[in-house]
Amino acid sequence: MTSKSSRDDGRLKIAIQKSGRLSEKSFALLERAGISLQKSKDQLLCRAHNFPLDIFLVRDDDIPAFLVNDVCQLGIMGQNSLLESQQLDPDTFGGLQQVMPLGFGRCRLSIAVPNDMEYTGPDSLNGRTIATSYRGLLAKYLAEYKVDANIVTMEGAVEVAPRTHLADAICDLVSTGNTLISNGLSEQETILKSQAVIIKNNVMRSDIDSLSEKILARIKAVLSAENSRYIMLNCPTEALDDIKAILPGSQSPTVLPLQGRDDMVAVHAVCDEAVFWTTMEDLKARGASSILVVPIEKMLD
């Protein structure tokens, strides 16, 4: 454990996954928020040069414990793992808050059965054995549906359990579904939809909390810039209301005169949704021309 002096050094500590599905994207997100890090994957600790911040590189399952002990104040992990820890030990982990979904690491926790097993609904699991790494979330689901099944806890390679007759069914994380297909399993129930989130402890000191708020605001700005586009177009003045109505997610566009044209205006708007080809075609059909859609690098509200 970290000594008291390093805990009290006035630096914010963020726990992220050391290596695995979330680590690259967690690093990249912090870098896009302007944090310059010396990447060294062999270490536990990684210092930021330009912000009073240290990154702890740990196993994802350990992140909740780092937060409740205030070794770290923020963490990036899958909702699935957080909710599982909270389900298994609400007294210890119940106070951790999800503060921001991050839009990556999307997956679902699903129940899958062998293709040749008859399945008509959760009742079909009665008396069966289900292998999982998510005992807490599975038990909660089974209790909700009043299913009486046995749970076998496995750390990994859950998908082979039915073939080795260790279990009749599995409950595991799925993203594309390819692993299930190649193991002769079919997905039947989704227990939880998950993505990576930032989590926060509720015991941090106020000076650290203000650093945390600053980082969270930057990350929020990065995410909203990523999801937004700047759109520019020209249109007949009389078509302006029609055009405004179909600009995706835009609040109040800027309308500018076009030199030498009193029948035309230029419209500039930040759209907080994707701008699809079909939207551009609709804009064109309503009289818009010279339509430009550009990405936004940074945005601070």
Binding residues for Zn ion, rule: CB under 5 A, are 60-61
How many beta carbons lie within 10 A of that of residue 51, not counting itself? 19
In the complex, the smallest distance separating the C-beta of residue 112 from ligand ATP, rounded to whole angstroms, is 13
Q: Which of 35, 173, 180, 270 binds ligand ATP (CB under 6 A)?
A: 173
* 17 in contact with ligand ATP (CB under 6 A): yes
Asked if 110 interacts with ligand ATP (CB under 6 A), we say: no
* Binding segment (CB under 6 A) for ligand ATP, from list 54-62, 141-149, 220-228, 243-251: 54-62
CB of 46 to ligand ATP, least distance (A): 16
Considering the complex, what minimum distance in angstroms separates the CB of residue 110 from ligand ATP?
A: 10
* Residue closest to 75 by CA, chosen among 202, 182, 201, 210: 201
Please tell me whether residue 175 binds ligand ATP under the rule CB under 6 A: yes
**Alpha-carbon distance values, 217 to 212, 220, 223, 276, 294 (Å):** 9, 5, 10, 28, 23
Q: Does 135 bind ligand ATP (CB under 6 A)?
A: no
Of the pair 136, 253, the CB lying nearest ligand ATP is at 136
* 3-state class percentages of the chain: helix first, strand second, coil last, to nearest 5: 35, 30, 35
Which helix (H) or strand (E) element contains residue 129?
strand 129-132
Question: With respect to ligand ATP, which residue has the nearer C-beta, 64 or 78?
Answer: 78
CB of 54 to Zn ion, least distance (A): 22
Binding partner of residue 175 among Zn ion, ligand ATP, none, CB under 5 to 8 Å per kind?
ligand ATP
Only segment of 73-81, 248-256, 277-285, 286-294 that touches ligand ATP (CB under 6 A): 73-81
CB 231, CB 269: distance < 8 Å = yes
Q: Does 86 bind ligand ATP (CB under 6 A)?
A: no
Of the candidates 11, 47, 61, 184, which one interacts with ligand ATP according to CB under 6 A? 61
Other CB atoms within 10 Å distance of the CB of residue 269: 22
Q: Is 141 left (phi over 0), alpha (psi -120 to 50) or beta?
A: alpha
| Residue bearing tokens 């998950």 | 194
C-alpha to C-alpha distance for 111 and 109, rounded to whole angstroms: 7
Q: How many other C-beta atoms are found inside a 10 Å radius of the C-beta of residue 61?
A: 14
Which residues bind to ligand ATP, rule: CB under 6 A? 17, 20-22, 59-61, 78, 80-81, 105, 107, 173, 175, 194
